[in-house]
Structure 1
């Protein structure tokens, strides 16, 4: 496709493409028929001498759509093409908010405060920087990174390909690994913030504790607690500052507030114990008796490394996980791939699109097929294929021990919860110094952990890999909206709800990134952030252009949107399997409502975020 993009050669687009099933057919990968491979190699060798100078002709939408259709081996819907075109990254800034007719004079009067210098805050700031708007980022930590600064535990790593976990406006970043480590993600975010002029607008070591809406001035009054001194947390007593701003954008997100297990006696333990987000770098696990509580993505990443050092390790499992190997996980990007990415124009673009398309193909495995179930299936042909594939992986690892095998096979469908990437987890369970504990924990005391069967295991250290309080989207700030209503009160009766996951009634000029029901069904967190940030920045631009003082989503619009969202969620396995995972799945609340994810397919939700509809909002001038 890179050669076709460079040359426009129709022969390259007429080559046959096969849909190759991955992981039992849950994912599909478009592959060029091997009969064409040699012809492509010869063509590349012919063109190679001119690669350095050849930037290719500009391709219009019709050409790009034809190329994408040939590349994926199937026609695209309009929504898929619009979204895929941005993922192809052929424009300098594919997801840019824009002025209708140049920057208006009113832009000078509009101020924005962004909460958090994680990926969401940075993406929003880059948009505002391009628009020439005035903004400040308040960050309670000492550096950029957000959740990737919190998560410093050994082997912390992204579980989607690095070529999806990146902004479309940052071209061919030199990722060292196919799946970026936490340290590499932090370096990437620092690079983006520096390169796009955001770093100078960040105030570190300060925290927004309270935000109150003033209905007369149409502004937010912010109470900010600072570390004192030079703002890095080391310069003296805390201070309180008051700031007034027209717009607040919260980038606190879902994964900012650690969750500790609710276990009697947890506070009495006398050894080292901490959450994975509060990793103790001074702690040496060598020769220790260690308990790891939790086996989600974090626990599965962390446990094998600790097992190598520990004298004894107890892995406490409440719920078995579907754990999948991932090609290229923990591998450095090969010299051959790097040569292609750097040396062939447009190769990087199509390589990124390929990874995105594979991920999006998973969405079909998330819905129930009634006809398949009527014929004796469990969910759908593709979901059941994934279940069979993952079950066989567990069987190959643990099948020699039927009792252990049975404890590790989930009773719910894959993708009903987040799929976990394998980091040597099953191999670690088989180590002589590791015990998988599946009896429920009833108490923690000064020396160890007691389970429901009466066994007490003495340990020197406990690591809580228990995840996050995902519904605390705006924590720890107290937000007070119209009429004095607090955010907690607004969500008290029915739990967290928002329009597009971004804004809610009674809280004008407050926008959330990674708010309720905004996690997409496929793709990466970074790509989702770009869509949210563009929407918010475009709304702010409209306010500046039209002299609008405040925008507030209409209650009836928000209610109707959430009704559609709830109805659509009924078709997805997050809810059909919820009875099996109640209280053990952050997708679904204790009340049985799906609170985390967007139920619509990615291209459809992307279309909802493409441009704000001012008719949906109450406006004041």
Structure 2
């Protein structure tokens, strides 16, 4: 366990008038927590109701716009005065904070969640929020023997995105040598590669970051790609990961050598030079959405103008005043279309199916100075704010995705799911007045049957501009001057952007990975049927670990950053098993792997995204969900907290 999470705060020097104004920007539940930390007095919790989660529609349904947590402006004003009182006493003490015992901390958790917690859930929160400043997710090799063994355990990490940089940081902290292989010239993974107009994350930035390395300087609540890339680049620099990275280099093949119990990893750099690295373990952090997939349309090679994938947007491309086509209406297109609608002379959007969108007025909102002030200066505010974002994204939604076998409506999978469908329908209807357009943009499949997108109104507003046309006729061909649809119309354009997704069902593609007895990973997986125990380990491939592997994508379970930390935690403790036991390798038992994946398939099949009535990128060509984790995030956290020796064969 590493103690580098103490909540350091800057001194509060602003006067009450300035503070009072800034408080209106802040999260009310987190303010209540900060009051207790500054005062040591929990009586404030008895004067106000516990916070509750609400969507945008519910927040304004009663006539008065409620603030985060369901508080009225009058309640918030009273809480602000209590904050000012607590700050005054805190400053008078010179910035010292009272010690809170475990009972008080438990009371804070219960209040913030709005209900009594079982011990498992409280442990889960304690680790995530780390009020005690102890980072429980790193690997600390305590003895000299373990440290020496660690120094002789070289690891190769494939991929320098969120997961790869995290693995490098953790291995470096433990003193384990590693080499990170990155195919690009910089770090950041998908955030390095995707730089299309409007590219941003759809998870709040303050929770889309490492738990041990908060960023209080996000410019937007949902940051743009360049800012996210810069965050991971800074983390890599600060923790020395760059020094271990080979840029512009790809892994061509990895082969397990049984005699030496090592992986022989063949890499090729940008000049075509090959090298072979020897590793005791390989960590794949290549991601699921990193190989662009162009559509299979007749004539795609005949177009006269620029034709490109959204994930490989040409640098310096100027489409102002041009006639532009966007093929696709998923997450990337959802962000691209409003941007192009502002500058293109004509924008034609080709939609195969519409998207459900979750109302989020703050999706493009800048982080105010008050919020930045609080994150830096209010004791423990940043920790509780991160937890609030995290908690409200994982609770209260999961049950709405589960299929009720008795439910009989193709537009939803249960009564709870239908309730959400009606709320999301009302949101879309509130923005579209044209009945013909409404019919095109209103989904007829269940919510969560495909990826739900964050919406602040800009997408549907863009579709209603005079220079924008939404086409739902199927595409039959691409011709030199445009796109031909099934109704015979040729839509003439100057450029075509294909927002058509990735090879999401081809994990570790296109590397050739060979395990025990010459088994090919591609053959074992049948190319598009990836399976792994916990999404991390694979039978016949000893000491191979995956981050963001098969069935680990999150739909309703919070930030992928948390998931990556759970996976790296498991990998680190697996390596510890090997070092402590003097083992050369660990290989997951086939029966353990199969039993786990049977459970994954069973639960996924009973969700909206696994329901037989929908098609999506979560499924492979056979209809099996290969992308998504079907469990609650607390369950997956528990599964990955400590590997079980009985699940593996050691040699």
TM-score (ref. length: structure 2): 0.88
Q: 236, 239, 256: which one pairs with 1:213?
A: 256
Shifted more, 566-575 versus 444-453: the winner is: 566-575
Summarize deviations over 1:449-500 as a string: whole Å, max 9, x none: 1111111111111101011111122122110111111111101188111100
Q: 150, 163, 166: which one pairs with 2:193?
A: 150
Alignment-derived partner of residue 6 in structure 2 = none
Superposed, 1:96-107 pairs within 5 Å as: 96-99=138-141, 101=143, 103-107=146-150
Alignment-derived partner of residue 333 in structure 1 = 367
> Structure 1 110/269 Cα, relative in aligned 2: closer, same or farther at 3 Å?
same
Alignment-derived partner of residue 595 in structure 1 = 626
Alignment-derived partner of residue 136 in structure 1 = 179
Alignment-derived partner of residue 237 in structure 2 = 194
Shifted more, 271-280 versus 193-202: the winner is: 193-202
* Unmatched segments (≥5 aa) in structure 1: 228-236
Alignment-derived partner of residue 45 in structure 1 = 84
TM-score (ref. length: structure 1): 0.92
Give the superposition deviation at 1:396. 2.3
User: Are 1:3 and 2:35 matched, yes or no?
Assistant: yes
Q: Secondary structure at the match of 1:86?
A: helix
Task: Report if the CA contact (8 A) 1:115-1:208 is conserved.
Answer: yes
| 2: CA distance, partners of 1:143 / 1:391 | 42
| 1: CA distance, partners of 2:495 / 2:624 | 36
What's the Cα RMSD here? 2.3
* Unmatched segments (≥5 aa) in structure 2: 1-32, 60-66
> Structure 1 29/613 Cα, relative in aligned 2: closer, same or farther at 3 Å?
farther
> Structure 1 537/428 Cα, relative in aligned 2: closer, same or farther at 3 Å?
same
Give the superposition deviation at 1:171. 3.2
Superposed, 1:538-617 pairs within 5 Å as: 538-576=573-611, 578-579=612-613, 581-582=614-615, 585-617=616-648
> Structure 1 144/22 Cα, relative in aligned 2: closer, same or farther at 3 Å?
same
Q: Secondary structure at the match of 2:52?
A: strand
Alignment-derived partner of residue 518 in structure 2 = 484
Give the superposition deviation at 1:173. 3.0
Superposed, 1:311-460 pairs within 5 Å as: 311-361=345-395, 362-369=397-404, 373=407, 378-399=412-433, 401-422=434-455, 424-460=458-494
User: Are 1:67 and 2:105 matched, yes or no?
Assistant: no
User: Are 1:245 and 2:286 matched, yes or no?
Assistant: no
Task: Report if the CA contact (8 A) 1:291-1:459 is conserved.
Answer: yes
Shifted more, 354-363 versus 38-47: the winner is: 38-47
Number of equivalenced pairs: 604
Give the superposition deviation at 1:568. 1.9
Superposed, 1:232-311 pairs within 5 Å as: 237-311=271-345
Alignment-derived partner of residue 226 in structure 2 = 183
| 1: CA distance, partners of 2:195 / 2:439 | 33
Q: Secondary structure at the match of 1:443?
A: strand
| 1: CA distance, partners of 2:446 / 2:553 | 19
Alignment-derived partner of residue 29 in structure 2 = none
Give the superposition deviation at 1:225. 0.2
| 2: CA distance, partners of 1:422 / 1:83 | 30
Alignment-derived partner of residue 232 in structure 1 = none
Q: Secondary structure at the match of 1:364?
A: helix
| 1: CA distance, partners of 2:231 / 2:603 | 36
| 1: CA distance, partners of 2:180 / 2:304 | 39
Task: Report if the CA contact (8 A) 1:79-1:604 is conserved.
Answer: no
| 2: CA distance, partners of 1:10 / 1:283 | 57
| 2: CA distance, partners of 1:108 / 1:21 | 50
Alignment-derived partner of residue 233 in structure 1 = none
Give the superposition deviation at 1:323. 2.1
Task: Report if the CA contact (8 A) 2:411-2:446 is conserved.
Answer: no
Alignment-derived partner of residue 529 in structure 1 = 564
